[in-house]
Structure 1
Amino acid sequence: MTVQRSTTSGLPIGGGEMGQLIREKDWSSTPLGHPDHWPQSLRTTLNILLASKFPKFLWWGKELTCFYNDAYRPSLGSEGKHPSILGMAGKEAWPEIWHIIKPLMDKVLDNGESLWFENLLVPIHRNGKIEDVYWTFSYSPARNDDGTIAGVLVTCAETTQEVLLKRKLESSERNLRLIIQQAPASIATFKGPDYVTEIANSNALELWGRKAEEVMHKPILEAMPELVGQGIKDLLDDVYTTGNRFAASELPVQLLRDGKLKTVYINFSYEALYDANGKIDGIISIGHDVTDQVIAHKKIEANEEKLTMVIDASELGTYDFNIKTKKLDGSKKLHEIFGLNEADDIDHESFVNSIYTKDQAIRNAAFEKSFKDGNLAYTCRINTPEQHTRWIEVKGKVHLDEEGNPHKVLGTVRDITTEKVNIQKLEESEQKFRLLADSLPQHIWTADPEGNLNYFNQSVYDFSGFSSERIEQEGWISIVHPDDKAGNIKAWTESVSTGKDFLFEHRFRKYDGTYRWQLSRAKPQFNEDGQIQMWVGSSTDIHDQKEFTNELERLVIERTNELAQNVKDLASMNKELQSFAYISSHDLQEPLRKIQTFSTLLLENEYDNLTDDGKEHFKRMQNAAKRMQALISDLLAYSRTSISDRKYEPTDLNKLIVEVKMDLKEELAHHQAILESEELCTLNIIPFQFRQLLQNLVSNSLKFSAKDREPHISISSEKAFGSELELDRLSPNTKYCHLRISDNGIGFEEKYAERIFELFQRLHGREKFQGTGIGLAIVKKIVDNHNGYITAHGKPNEGATFDIYLPEKQ
């Protein structure tokens, strides 16, 4: 906004509360005296200060009298220095920090040096007490009418909350690292595409068999070269590029232990880590060494395989007996055992009649028992049609119908005539298997090919508090959490029907009524014909790991959200700073227009009355005003490149060149310059910004043209992938438009190739070449707005070349 001036007192009109207080204050009793005697520079500075929406403070005069605007007012608190310090000497107003700020002001007052501080602790008295307050601020010289330094202008912002938030985030990160270090799992984080180890807790180091100094802050595949070729890098690359989680159970990995490779089995997962912009910047690994469990499983599987081999070697016959219909289906081997041809029918009646009369009671008692406990088992003698006597071992499982009644018996018949003496050995083998299963902390269980569970180790009974009879009656599913039952049944049914491995996480009810998470898995055991003979399963307690993983994920999400909010707040602050720079530059034009207006009136009405020295001074004043006008225009242009909306449009660069030639027609003619361009490409750009870019570069070539030859400016373009262009910063797989502008002017030394794009940088004095030193900075800003790159090359007295690389797609 523009601050109006009072024609009576010279004090500003407007400026909010502080403007009103300044106008109402009796200044005659202060060292500054009545406002009518104040210098114009003080009034101008106050106008700028009061009009600003950014916190500003001014110390003026020998006593460093205090002024401040409405934006600064909240920093003084509710019970502090406002409004008493207005017009007060600085030393009296700020006694608690005078020893801090006075030396800073002396640097500005004595040397004209501008100072900048970020997040500096400067305690002040406000709200009735001394408070620790952090500031980001600048001190700049405020000059009197004669150009001498008369005061210090402060532009500041209180950053106490930002500093405290940063400390809170750092504390949160330390706590997170502490949690990771104390976690029972092996946890590590890897940063970047090289997977540099950033965090690794003691469990991870123990699992890897490494010391911290061997792996920390190093690419994990370099620190552990034995992992190369084991597929680990492919897994990491997939998670890093897609963000998909990877989890594996009992994965065998070769790790170096005591100088030798050893196979270690690991349950682990890879999760992508994201930065504040939502981009993947690392991976977290959570794992458990399950080598002992896997070895135990393998022993069980080996025993099961041995048992299967024993059964196969024993030449078992199988049967399926329907209790209600009395229908008996028997296998080929069953026919052989009973001395029948495969084509002969074998029914229930002939089966029973073939049993020795003395052994009928054994058979009947076994059936009665099987209806109670579900297991059929007996041995007896039979007579074959050829009247041969054979010993058979009959086993079976009674299956219940939906009403819980015995429905059928599935079982086997084995000819043990020549092997009866080995029964004891087989029973001992079975006892060893069960003893091994009962010694494991995991829950071990088996099921028949139809998925009916028929065995549980002792761990199941100890955990659930159920007896074998209760589990037989209520079933294994009865201890599963109600919320997990449906998924459990669905997954188990699918595995049984498809033959695929069963893997499921669910909660089991303990004997004390609490629930704990379990990882259950089961594998089908196939016979030589590829048919499932049985299922062997285990359930491992993962409750602690599950709870920790959930808590860790919650903390990671919470911290990610906090970082995202901080980035959002920072972007908002940057936008406000850009708007402030634009408005400030715009308001500078008002006093400049008055200077130019009054100088024009002097030129028209009073010029002839001036002395020769006066005319020379007048001429220098006009030139200074023109330079100021050019500087402000360039500053406004630079600001617009930062704050304007970026609307990209497909644009023919050839049309922009035509427009630039028209705009610079007089300058080109004045320098007798040749501007030629090849057929240029069409590109997705911000048209008005890119037109300004081309105009600035052509104007730059004209300005720095050589006096002994006609200027020659050449513009060309090409499209190519980053890998085909001579700039390492380009993305190899991205297609770019390469635009080159070259001239035959005075050129420059190569060491200044970066400096020329900096704001207010000049390689030559103003007396030789006019300009503000902003033109190429605007060009650089426009290229940045298009996500591109610009480089410059030159040779003294030969010319300069500017190369611009813009991505084809924005």
Structure 2
Amino acid sequence: MYPFLAGQGEMAALIRRFDWATTSLGTPDGWPQSLRTMVSVILNSKFPMFLWWGPDLIQFYNDAYRPSLGTSGKHPSALGQPGEQTWPESWSTIKPLIDQVVSGGEATWSEDQLIPIDRNGERQDVYWTFSLSPVANESGQPAGVLVICTETTKAVVNYRKLEASEARYRLMFELAPVAIGTLRGEDLIIETANPKVLEILGKPASIVGQPWLEALPELVGQPAETIIQEVYRTGVPFTISEFSAQLEKNGQLRRGYYTFSYLPLIEEGETTRILQVAVDVTEQVAARQKIAQSEAKLRSLIEHAPVAMCLFVGPDLTIELANESMIRFFGKGHSILGKPVGDVLNTPGDRFALQLLDQVFTTGDAYEAQNAPADLTIDGIPGTYYFDFSLKPLVDEVGAVYAILETAVDVTGQVLARIKLQEAETDLRVAVELAQLGTWSIDVATNGLVFSDRLIEWFGYDPGAQAYSQVIPILDGNDQERVNRAVARALDPESGGVYDEIYTVIHPTTGQRRILHAQGKTVFDATGKAVRLNGTAQDITLQRQLQLALENEVQLRTQELAAANEELLASNEELENANELLNRSNESLQQFAYVASHDLQEPLRKIQSFGDLLRGSYGDQDGLLYLDRMQAAGGRMSILIRDLLAYARLGMEPSEPIMVSLNQVMDTVQENLELRIRETRAQVSVAALPTVWGDGWQLEQLFQNLVSNALKFSKPGDGVPQVEIRSTLVQAAEIPPTVKPGRTATAYYRIEVADNGIGFEPRYVDRIFQVFQRLHGKNEYVGTGIGLAICQKVVTTHGGAITATSQPGQGATFSVYLPI
């Protein structure tokens, strides 16, 4: 046994048993004295120590260091093992420190240094306070590194927890919804103040550190000064609600209301600080004051209201307010004020009224009634009176019902008058029956038609709640449109509202024809709007039969007139023949235009081809100029003939209409104009477009010309052309009066092509759709003046219309109307 390895500890026993011959150090009998001495020092120290020795940094440690290695993993394998094998997870941190010491540098010192290690089966963050010192051998050269260390993981974790706790406290202090601050010493120095304090005081954070009264001079002489000084002197807390104080904010004194506490902080029996906690309740106080004002206004409203009003308050429904009209209806004088309503309404006939009041107060649902009867004694006169009244619950800030407001209007006179009117109407119905008249009525708002029993029998039809237009098919076909127009005319305020028509009714079951004479009068409201058309109908079949007999007699005497009519018919036939010849002439003209346009293309192509050949062999500059002009003129004429050919083709190639998707049409148009769109960098946006009946090729021509125009007439050098195509459904009545569609329809699609180009003067809106009409010279903008004429012809062919709106420099919008 080696004396320097004597000892009772675990590590001494392990070092003695360890086979050191397997290491670069060899057996202990060959160790240098310096190593023996350091091992002896380590084993006999109660402070955690660790030793690396030799080039391989063979490791030694004592019992005090042993717990830092954990219960499993590095112990006891770390003993006698090279350092790099033991500490792979932290060697990048440790090795530079070892090299520094071994190379002759000074000892190191690290405090709370994080060095993760593997212990107890997992990677752990471990904090150390340690020193690395060089250990010299017998030659005075560093041969080892002594580590004296203490694990500080618990201390570091606890300190960080403390820091986090303090941070949370500071955060709570800063974010507290109430004002919190402390005042220190007799001078009441503002020691702390959270943002709510600064907000309430209207002061900057720089007041911290100032005496309280210097920071808030406006409080000098106010009760708050005396209160806080008394709390500091006596050590007795002070709390008050809705305390009124004036504070300077933005250079002005403003009165506010605050609920606050001054709490003395006592150390060794003496007050050293005051904790101040405050809440700004100015808005709540102001709201309560407004409620009080509102209640005062309500009281005034009730007392001076032109209708009877009463306020029942609380579960007992005490009559707190009632104006003179309501007191008069109760019939018991001012003694009702301040009494529960149950003490005032105490007869068996009052039970229903009490139940209603209790229902409204309990459920919170308002109640209204019209023409409600009540047996009362008003102004000493007993009787049955009628009222329009309402019971409205009033709720507080939490939604609970605290009162009921009743309003009542005496409508006894109106109800009695209506009863008399009903009696008069009954008498009128009797008279109508005696006169064998049928009655009818049209409700304008609902188009509902009401027939009397006699009319139901005559028509063989009960309209019930159906629209009056549904009875029209029962009339003779010759009368239907005329009756419709007559009803519409009677509903027009300018017509006087009179309806007077004779028509024939055909019974749908028996086929019996009955001639009726109907008369009516429209009722208009105060604004002149028709409300109802009321009328009567009389069976005049017999009278009309007599009249027809007389008309037959007259007809016999008018045969001579019939001969004259035949002569007129012959003249009409001649006119029809002339029209037919004219139509044929038009067709021939269109055929000629097509053939001429088509045949003219061939010589033009030859002129252009020969011009190209001449230009290639002609050397004179003037000659080349003339050829260029000839070529340009030929090109323009070719475009003109092509456009004329397209224009003529529109009238010569009619096709059966099909359903055409305008979105697909626009896709084709954009493909055709792709190069032009790319060259101008134009942005073309197409919204969802409808599907219409028509010729797909013609519609493609229409929209290609419109989009091409939008690209052509863009502002030169002025940004990117913007073209937008959109669609709207419009009713026929919404179309501008100047737009005349080729076919009548109830509704139209309006497709708009809008651009941001140069625009044009509004006075030229009709001119631009004429053939060969141009608003600009051919040197400014190329074109033949036929494109928009083609557009108009396509739209007209499809039964629609086209127009445009524009201002110079503000772009143009072309609107195409196509019937649905």
Category of TM-score, reference length = shorter chain: 0.3 to 0.5
Larger Rg: 2
Q: Name the TM-score, length of structure 1 as normaliser.
A: 0.33
Which protein, 1 or 2, shows the higher relative CO under an 8 Å CA cutoff with sep ≥ 6? Answer: 1
Q: Name the TM-score, length of structure 2 as normaliser.
A: 0.33
